[in-house]
A and B are shown apart, each in its own frame.
Chain A
Amino acid sequence: MPANAFPLGAEYFRVLPEIVLTLVGVLIMFLEAVFDEDQKKIFGPLTIVGLAAALGAAIAAGGDPGPAFHGMMVVDGFATFFRVLVIVVGLFAVFSSIEYLQREKMNGGEYYALILFSIVGQSVMVTANELIMVFIGLEISSIASYVLAGYLRDDPRNNESALKYFLLGSFATAFLLYGVAWIYGLTGSTNLSLIRQALSSGSAPELALTGTAAVLIFVGFGFKLSAAPFQIWAPDVYQGAPAPVSAFLSVGPKAASFAILARVFMTAFAPLASRWQPVIWVVALATMIVGNFAALKQTNIKRMLAYSSIAHAGYVLVAVAANSEIGSAALMFYMAAYALTNLGAFAVVTHVARKGEKYVLIEDMAGLSQRQPAMAAMLTIFLLSLIGVPLTGGFFGKFYIFKAALDSHLIWLTVLGLLNSAVAAFYYLRILVVMYMKEPVESAEANVSAGAALQFAVYAAAIGTLILGIFPGWVLDFATRGALK
């Protein structure tokens, strides 16, 4: 047995966030069995504590970068940025879930445990340095997500959502795994750096074969990112799933998938860049167009936000297509800005929807500015950020992405992408119109004010969105330092 069969202490430290999250998740599963209804109220705060501890661990681990477990994982600036991001996403999701679960009388521990496990999976994905770890992370994250999407098990919409997500998701994962197998067969390795070496060496395998493998892997990721033409599932899943879960699904797994997509394609497949760049160019444009134009017609706000999240995936793919250090920093910044914005928007939707998600049509927002001026003002900030109006995080995200694209001479993609964002303004404005320019509907539940946790989530997201819009340097600094070279 070789001397270094067991990892060093420092390497455990580098995976401490995953360890913490797993332990808290398992603890909650145990307590679930022994606690009565009243005691279960502790699960929400307990999850928050666990996430906060993991956040601290992730930041601390970021201070000591390096590989772990024989190079299976790597903690670098890029990984740390996304680790922190997915954990923060988890925090927001939990803050906006507590009130929701009580309202729906489904305050079970497994919900929080599943959220934690999903984050573990995402965290593994973003730190993975080889394809098997990517697959494992993706599966951990996905399986927890499938269950979360159907968490309200008596609700047929939830069932539909979970089933669709599961069937299409596992199908796509199969593609990924098949691609990984091809790559292993072609290069004899699943390690990203070794694959890169193999592909750039003189005896590189046949391009047709490596290309096929890359395409298979891209299909697997494309599904998770809801990139066209693999976006079909997203509207149904986001519409059917519980609102806080939709919020979580639209940012958490997506951020992790983008991180690993960028890492795999910009490191392992870097030698093939001239081949995959045009493909991503086309996919990015198609994704933006499909998302934006389909969103124009939606009446259900969750469904609209689903199409909007497809469109935003298109913008982020522009950053991947740029294939540069600036592009990767732009991707990181954009995901952070988009995560805060979208979580905030979904939190307001969660609040307005009330029990059983009765009010999820755009029309139901009528007169919100008069019934609940603060909530309406916050949603306005989120929507302006989604449109990309200056002084919000969404604007700088778009700005950095399209700047990266121009620097990589993707002039037409930039112009078409920017015009797309003008189209997008229309459907976001529709919500503003309804909130501010239509008379309120009379309803007994219309004036219920939000609980403290949800309010905290909304305000924190709004402040974060504005800070990213006014002082983007604070986050961009981290992104630039962690960007993939």
Chain B
Amino acid sequence: MTLLDAVLFLPLLGFIALLIAPASVSRMAALAISLGIFVVSLGLIGTVTDAPGVYSFVSNSQWIDVPSIKYHVGLDGLSLWLVILTTLLTPIAVLVSWKYIDQRVKLFYAFLILLEFGVIGVFVSLDLFLFYVFWEVSLVPMYFLIGIWGHERRIYAAVKFFLYTMAGSVLMLAAIIYLYSQTGTFDYVAILQKLTTGQVALTAQAQMLLFLAFFLSFAIKVPLFPLHTWLPDAHVEAPTAGSIMLASVMLKMGTYGLVRFCLPLFPETAHKAAPCVVALAVIGIVYGALVALVQPNMKKLVAYSSVSHLGFVVLGIFSFTQQGLDGAVYQMLNHGVSTGALFMLVGYLYERQHSLEISAYGGVATPAPNLAVVFLITTLASIGLPVLNGFVGEYLVLQGASQANFTWAVFAALGVILSACYMLWLYQRTFYGRASHSVSHHITDLNSREWAAALPLVLLMFWMGIYSQSFMPAISTQNALILQRVNGSAAAALQAPVVKEVANAR
């Protein structure tokens, strides 16, 4: 029993405890449980940052004998911060929902904690089968969170969310089973080793199909243009906590999957597919930004900005450069912090004015100066202003992209400019100008609970922007290893076309 096992299974115990406990204590219990898990998870940091290139806290025991499925979990520099992000955002989501959720409170918090279980599981699984199990398990609570506590069109959004993800993931399941039939194991580390050493050689066609199956499932989750249409619906209809968890954590499951599985398992195919993927990513960046520009609904605006930002992440990943990949992973964390904060703040506004339409606001800064300041910092972080976190990620992605192909970087930079347009315009329309009667009547400033939820994220925005050294070395080390595998084997394939022909012929 390692510390990681505890971090993984405490949410499951918490879920059960919340179901058993009376509804009157659900809020406090959920807060205590999620904070407790966060504190425990901090203990993971030291060990992993000391040795980010290897898996720490490994548990590897047999779960099912035939076919051999293992409970194999571990944490490295890539997954560490994503786990911490998850454990940090869960108590924040609990705090944010304190007043907002007033019906079926017990069930709500139970599902929120169950979601944490699924998501952490996705980030720490080193067995493909286990990964798939958690991938699906995380789907169910989010489905209920959107469907029960969402806005008017919640049912449509929840079902759409479930079916999109499900359709993608069944293909991944087929690919996982096929990999098993070729390699005889579900263990990711073992499969990777067999593929790297050439013990198992997949034909180019099989590689392409497997890559596509994994990629499609991840691309739906990311979401990559043109598979993104579930996202605006899900975000707009979800309750605030649901939006936060969806944007900050669940979208990262897709990009994490790309980095962890798609690249190292199928490096040559990844190189082959890169032009198409990058084209989609760049379209997503620009398209997402343009659509965000014209949204009258705040949540929809933030949702489309996510499409744009996640396009950056995919661009960074498929640039196959150290900077690009570092930037992509860093941007995953940034997006988690700043978009999480944006959804939280939009939720605060909604709780006060009961509208998500931008036109219902204006002059909010007058009655709520603190809210305005926090919103401004978050906006600037999201745009990528230096000193704040978004800058670091975007800069690295752009640099990596320009090393690979300058044209990509030009288009991506366009996205940065557009993001300033839509975010600042949103800010201007919402917070500046004369406060209408309804605004000055309804809007109050942040209370202490809302501060408590917002402050950690604001501090993180500065910390991650000013001293990225705290986070980056762990990410970089692991990324370097992945790139070594990705570029190394692709280069080998280019240098030795004869060998490749032989492999194909098999």
Contact of A390 with B132 at beta-carbon distance under 8 Å, contacts A384-B140, A403-B67, A472-B64 already known: yes
Query: Which A residues touch B144, using CB under 8 A?
Result: 436
Indicate if the CB atoms of B155 and A433 lie closer than 8 Å.
yes
Tell me the bound Cα distance from A429 to B144 in angstroms.
10
Which B residues lie at the A interface, using CB under 8 A? 64-67, 104, 107, 132-134, 136-137, 139-140, 143-144, 147-148, 154-155, 158-159, 162-163, 166-167, 170-171, 173-174, 177-178, 180-181
B170: which A residues are within 8 A, CB to CB? 418-419, 421-422
If A399-B177, A426-B163 touch, whether A436 touches B140 (CB-CB below 8 Å) is: no
In the complex, the chain A residue whose C-beta lies closest to that of B149 is A437
Contacts A384-B140, A414-B174 known; list 10 others, CB within 8 Å.
A387-B166, A389-B139, A391-B133, A402-B173, A414-B177, A422-B170, A429-B162, A437-B154, A473-B65, A476-B66
Asked whether, in the complex, the Cβ of B155 is within 8 Å of the Cβ of A390, the reply is no
- List the B side residues contacting A477 at CB < 8 Å: 65-66
As a 0/1 sequence over residues 434 to 450 of chain A, the CB contacts with chain B under 8 angstroms (1 = contact) are 00110000000000000
Q: List 18 A-B contacts (CB under 8 A).
A: A390-B136, A395-B136, A403-B67, A406-B178, A415-B171, A418-B173, A418-B174, A421-B170, A425-B162, A425-B163, A426-B159, A429-B162, A430-B159, A433-B158, A433-B159, A437-B148, A437-B154, A473-B66
Report the separation of the CA atoms of residues A407 and B180 in the bound assembly, to the nearest whole angstrom: 10
- CB of A285 to closest CB in B, whole Å: 15
Chain B residues with CB under 8 A of A226: none
Chain A's nearest CB lies how many Å from the CB of B265? 17
Assembled-state Cα–Cα distance A471/B171 (Å): 24
Please provide the 7 A-B residue pairs with the shortest distance between their CB atoms, ordered closest to farther: A418-B170, A390-B133, A422-B167, A437-B147, A422-B166, A390-B136, A403-B177
The answer to whether A402 touches B66 (Cβ under 8 A) is no
Bound together, the chains give a CA A387 to CA B139 distance in angstroms of: 13
A480 at the interface (CB under 8 A from B): yes
Which A residues lie at the B interface, using CB under 8 A? Answer: 369-370, 384, 387, 389-391, 395, 399, 402-403, 406-407, 411, 414-415, 418-419, 421-422, 425-426, 429-430, 432-433, 436-437, 471-473, 476-477, 480
Most chain-B CB neighbours within 10 Å: which of A389, A390, A425, A471? A390
* B-side contacts of A421, CB under 8 Å: 170
Who on chain B is nearest to A407 by CB? B181
The answer to whether B181 touches A433 (Cβ under 8 A) is no
- Interchain CB contact under 8 A, A415 and B66: no
A411 CB contacts on chain B under 8 angstroms: 178
Query: Contacts of A471 on B, CB cut-off 8 Å?
Result: 64
Looking at the assembled complex, report how far the CB atom of B177 sits from the nearest CB atom of chain A, in whole angstroms: 5
Assembly CA distance A437 to B111 (angstroms): 14
Q: How many A-B residue pairs have CB under 8 A?
A: 81
- Please give, as numbers and ranges, the residues of chain A lying within 8 Å of B174 by CB-CB distance: 402, 406, 414-415, 418
Within 8 Å by CB of A419, from B64, B67, B147, B167, lies B167
Cα–Cα distance between A320 and B132 once the two chains are bound (Å):
26
A81 to B173, CA, bound (A): 28
Bound CA span A252–B15, Å: 36
Q: How far is the CB of B111 from chain A (nearest CB, A)?
A: 10
B residues near A418, Cβ cutoff 8 Å: 170-171, 173-174
Are A480 and B173 interface neighbours, CB within 8 A?
no
Distance to closest chain A CB from B96 (angstroms)? 21
For the complex, what is the distance from the CA of A430 to the CA of B155, rounded to whole Å?
A: 9
Inter-chain CA distance A32–B147, complex, in Å, is 51
CB nearest to B209 among chain A residues: A411
How distant is the Cα of A157 from the Cα of B104 in the complex, in angstroms? 39
How far does the alpha carbon of A203 sit from the alpha carbon of B178 in the complex, in Å? 40
Closest to A421 in B: B170
Task: Give which listed residue, B64, B143, B147, B178, contacts A473 with CB less than 8 A.
Answer: B64
Complex alpha-carbon distance, A471 and B62, angstroms: 11
A406 to B66, CA, bound (A): 16
Residues of chain A contacted by B104 (CB below 8 angstroms): 370
Question: In the assembled complex, how far is the CB of residue B107 from the closest CB belonging to chain A, in whole angstroms?
Answer: 8
Is the Cβ of B66 less than 8 Å from the Cβ of A429? no
In the assembled complex, the Cα of A310 lies from the Cα of B130 at a distance in Å of 30
Across-interface contacts of A422 in B (CB, < 8 A) = 163, 166-167, 170
- For A430, list chain B residues within 8 Å (CB): 159
Say yes or no: A403 contacts B180, CB within 8 Å. Answer: yes
- In the assembly, what is the distance between CA of A369 and CA of B106, in Å? 13
User: Residue on B with the closest CB to A437?
Assistant: B147
Q: In whole Å, how far is A385's beta carbon from the nearest beta carbon of chain B?
A: 12
In the complex, which residues of chain A have a beta carbon less than 8 angstroms from the beta carbon of B133? 390-391
- Chain B's closest residue to A418 (CB) is B170
Residues of A within 8 A of B140 (CB): 384, 389
Across the two chains, which residue of chain A brings its CB closest to B173? Answer: A418
Q: Report how far A436 CA is from B103 CA in the complex, Å.
A: 12
Q: Specify which chain A residues have a CB less than 8 angstroms from the CB of B154 in the assembled complex.
A: 437
Taking CB atoms, residues of chain B closer than 8 Å to A407 are 181
Q: Which residues of A contact B171 (CB under 8 A)?
A: 415, 418-419
Q: Which residues of B have CB within 8 Å of A426?
A: 159, 163
B137 and A391 contacting across the interface, CB-CB below 8 Å: yes
